[in-house]
Structure 1
Amino acid sequence: MTSGDPELRVERRGAVLAVTFNRPEARNAMTWGMYEGLYEACETADRDDGVRAMLLSGAGTAAFVAGTDIGQFTEFRDGADGIAYEERIERVISRLETVTVPTVAAIRGYCVGAGLAIAAVCDLRVADSTARFGVPVARTLGNCLSMNTCSLLVHHFGPARTLDVLLRARLYTAEESAAAGFLAEVCEPADLDDRAAAVLDRVLGHAPLSMWAAKEAVRRLRRAALPDGDDIVARVFGSQDFAAGVRAFLAKERPEWQGR
């Protein structure tokens, strides 16, 4: 089967359901249609007994996923819009996290913002040396992460590295991310497809229920003490700084932060 959405290709490759984020001209930034397509791909993986693993990758060489398409933020008016946005994103991220088959992300180029969240809920991540990871919103848009996404970063990178990434708005290299334990493997750009295929071949030979049990146990441990964070999201997404940050980003200008 192949998806009809040109911006999100979904195709069966034997026992693997391959999902390709396909907006290379926009560094594969996610549209609402792409988010919904990813959700439906997860549904397909769970209802098709022939699917034994999922592979996620980005088209082109510039990015895995460079966040959400910023144009979709222009209609935000207050903090409630921010909460609704994060709930919409979390629905998709959580669905990917609960897919019963192993999920492998093959990452080249930018993996930032929502792209980092997508990669973080995959079970295994393989990246080439061009990959860069981060959430530079303190420098770009002036928004914030949901509590669930913050939990994912702390879960994978630890609190100190998470604050380093967020406060300094810096991008971690593939080598730094591997040292933090986020990546299973780092390879040269020409080898990425082969390394991802080797990882998939290995997990396809393992017991499905054993792998599901491991995935589900780790997921439950992470979410066991997840607090509510709507007040944080509402304050930041409803701020003047966020509105100014979106305008400045789209105009390719530097925002002037006011802290309100």
Structure 2
Amino acid sequence: MTFENILIEKNNQLATITINRPKKLNALNKATIEELHEGFKTLDADADVKVILITGSGEKAFVAGADISEFSNFSVEEGGKLAAKGQEILFDFVENLNTPVIALVNGFALGGGLELAMACHFRIATDNARMGLPETSLGVIPGYGGTQRLPQLIGKGKAMELIMTAGMISAEEAKSLGLVNYVVSQEELLPLATKIAGKIMNNSSVAISKAIKAVNDSFRNVNGFETEVTEFGNCFGTEDFKEGTTAFLEKRKAEFPGK
């Protein structure tokens, strides 16, 4: 499939999606959201891809927000549908992807950009990154999961402050709050992400997908402990479990088939 707004690169078992709208600071419009859905869907179905990185083109922005010009004249009904569809095909979709997704926040991550980063399984930021949810300054609220994921990641009080003030925080403050895992220079961003991805790829992709489900369920109206028990049991029926335990007993490196 040919994309106009994103680039996809595969290097062995690592795939990178780059949002490529530099003149718009990689702002999310409807077309880009749909392309991201297709890109993630295709990569998740590719058995050779074990980790997905997502970043923005250039060094100024990961995603500077949503493309406001597309919805400034929307009605109540249209606004609701915009949020519902976006959450379904991209933000919730990414959060529940079987393949681990790491956000490489290489600059501004505002509004929908921060919401996309938060939907990823974890985040690495450059030292020039700035993050925030400025929607209330536009007379609206975050609509792509921001009011839910930000409190989960940094706590209710600080999330309330950031949403109400429409303020931005630095990469270092984001790290201190647990919003990002690491802060590095632009030059160090991809090498660090590749190193972490390599560690992930050493492990069972089947087990990782089940762990993602169990962790995610703990933040929903679902008993995460029950999910953990179920998925733990399900692991015993996988080829990866047989290989992992056999390799451990034979004191060799596991070669997981991903089944």
Pairwise TM-score range, normalised by the shorter structure: 0.7 to 0.9
Which residue of 54, 57, 60 corresponds with 2:55?
57
User: Match of 1:109?
Assistant: 107
Q: Give the secondary structure class of the aligned counterpart of 2:118.
A: helix
1:90 aligns with 2:90: no
Q: Give the secondary structure class of the aligned counterpart of 1:144.
A: coil
Q: In 2, distance between residues paired with 1:104 and 1:183?
A: 10
State the aligned residue count.
221
1:155 aligns with 2:152: yes
Unaligned runs of 5+ in 1: 226-260
- Equivalent position amino acid for 1:64 in 2: F
User: Match of 2:219?
Assistant: 222
User: TM-score with structure 2 length normalisation?
Assistant: 0.81
Alpha carbons of structure 1 residues 147 and 17: separation in structure 2 relative to 1, 3 Å: closer
Which residue of 158, 179, 183 corresponds with 1:186?
183
**Partner deviation per Cα, 1:12-58 (whole Å, 9 max, x = no partner):** 22112211000111110012111011111221122211111111000
User: Match of 1:30?
Assistant: 28
RMSD of the alignment, in Å?
A: 1.5
Alpha carbons of structure 1 residues 147 and 100: separation in structure 2 relative to 1, 3 Å: closer
User: Match of 1:234?
Assistant: none
Instruction: Tell me by how many angstroms 1:138 deviates.
Output: 2.1
Contact 2:111 2:132 survives alignment (8 Å)? yes
User: Match of 2:3?
Assistant: 5
Instruction: Tell me by how many angstroms 1:75 deviates.
Output: 3.6
User: Match of 1:201?
Assistant: 198
Q: In 2, distance between residues paired with 1:210 and 1:114?
A: 30
Alpha carbons of structure 1 residues 147 and 120: separation in structure 2 relative to 1, 3 Å: closer
Q: In 2, distance between residues paired with 1:81 and 1:156?
A: 29
- Equivalent position amino acid for 1:104 in 2: I
Q: In 2, distance between residues paired with 1:123 and 1:223?
A: 16
Contact 1:45 1:99 survives alignment (8 Å)? no
1:177 aligns with 2:165: no
Larger radius of gyration: 2
User: TM-score with structure 1 length normalisation?
Assistant: 0.81
Instruction: Tell me by how many angstroms 1:180 deviates.
Output: 1.0
Contact 2:8 2:18 survives alignment (8 Å)? yes
Instruction: Tell me by how many angstroms 1:205 deviates.
Output: 1.0
Q: In 2, distance between residues paired with 1:8 and 1:121?
A: 18
Q: In 1, distance between residues paired with 2:13 and 2:217?
A: 27
**Partner deviation per Cα, 1:195-234 (whole Å, 9 max, x = no partner):** 1111111111112122212211121111227xxxxxxxxx
User: Match of 1:168?
Assistant: 165
Instruction: Tell me by how many angstroms 1:147 deviates.
Output: 8.0
Q: Which has the higher contact order (CA 8 A, sep 6+)?
A: 1
Q: In 1, distance between residues paired with 2:185 and 2:143?
A: 33
Instruction: Tell me by how many angstroms 1:94 deviates.
Output: 0.9
- Equivalent position amino acid for 1:119 in 2: A
